[in-house]
Amino acid sequence: MEQNKKTHLSFEVFPPKKDEEFDNVYQILRQLKELNPDFISCTYGAGGSRAGKTIEITSFIQNELKIDAIAHITCVGFTREDLHKNCEALQEAGVSHVLALRGDRPKTMSDEQYDSREFYYASDLVRHLKEYTGLRISGACYPEKHFEAPSLKEDLLHLKEKVDAGVTSLISQMFFDNNYFYRFLDKARAMGIHVPVHAGIMPITTAKQLGTTVSLSGSSVPKELADLIATYGEDKEDMRKAGIDYAVRQIRDLKEHGVDGIHIYSMNKVKTTTEICGMI
């Protein structure tokens, strides 16, 4: 891999559940700006709930903070008309970059509703956005394969279709063992996927967080991380320090390998994110 090139830095934030927490998010974003990220992305609730909040937050990032904003959008739970309205609203708000996702099925959604979505895979959404909007489009990728894919090879074939449909950069699912990322990247490049890939890093600062994260992402937990939880899990501050140290070591190694970008799943935790950035 190429060394000594600039590694991009980016963060992911999520819209707070309660309206009264909005001011706090803006405060967090102002502090994240101090860390000079190349972009900040904002998630979309499962099934597209609170879509308007993603627009508000990305508009703030783009227009107030003058940082490239990426708005996540999903197919699940949306009609073609909803999507058009959402994309128009984004563009009117000055946001021109989206992360086009299929989305996951919310627990409350019926089979019928889930299966009747207009865009079945993210690549179908990408094709549509490419044809009908001027938006810049990024996509998601999975170093350890997506949980539904029968193999990494098959997942990569579909990833290639997604990139060929118009995705210009990829953000990876979180991973805790860099070897998975390097293996994935080698295979992706060999398959002709040459867009920048931003490596997703989730700092694990509590034992509970690891359980939730793993069940949601399907990422495997290396022995070193499991041992760290076993050793420090009971002590809040020691666990936080150990989790930050683990993420920092992961990032340093990725940078030494010349990866395109580091995407920190900040979970709106500005103190942790700032400490990590101070050490890399």
Helix axes 22-33, 51-59, angle to 10 degrees: 40
Based on CB atoms, which residue is closest to ligand FAD, 240 or 263? 263
Q: Which residues contact 132 (CB under 8 A, 6 or more apart)?
A: 84, 87
Based on CB atoms, which residue is closest to ligand FAD, 116 or 231? 116
Based on CB atoms, which residue is closest to ligand FAD, 101 or 225? 101
Contact 24, 60 (CB under 8 A): no
**Exactly one of 12, 56, 144, 275 is catalytic; which is it?**
12
> What is the chain's length?
280
Angstrom distances, CA of residue 134 to CA of 62, 79, 238: 17, 19, 48
Based on CB atoms, which residue is closest to ligand FAD, 205 or 219? 219
**DSSP E strands: which ranges in the chain?**
8-13, 39-42, 68-74, 97-101, 136-141, 169-174, 197-201, 261-265
Helix axes 51-59, 80-92, angle to 10 degrees: 20
Closest approach of ligand FAD to the CB of residue 262, in Å: 13
Closest approach of ligand FAD to the CB of residue 119, in Å: 9
Residue 199's region, left for phi above 0, alpha for psi from -120 to 50, else beta, is beta
12 tagged catalytic: yes
Angstrom distances, CA of residue 84 to CA of 125, 131, 186, 199: 11, 12, 36, 30
Q: Tell me which amino acid residue 78 is.
A: F
Closest approach of ligand FAD to the CB of residue 226, in Å: 23
Based on CB atoms, which residue is closest to ligand FAD, 53 or 162? 162
Binding site for ligand FAD (CB under 6 A): 43-44, 46, 72, 74, 99, 101-104, 121-123, 140, 146, 148-149, 155, 158, 162, 171, 173, 200
Closest approach of ligand FAD to the CB of residue 122, in Å: 3
The residues pairing with 264 across neighbouring beta strands, listed in sequence order, are 11, 201
Closest approach of ligand FAD to the CB of residue 117, in Å: 11
Closest approach of ligand FAD to the CB of residue 235, in Å: 31
Distance, in Å, from the CA atom of 52 to the CA atom of 246, rounded to the nearest integer, reads: 35
Based on CB atoms, which residue is closest to ligand FAD, 46 or 65? 46
Catalytic center residues = 12
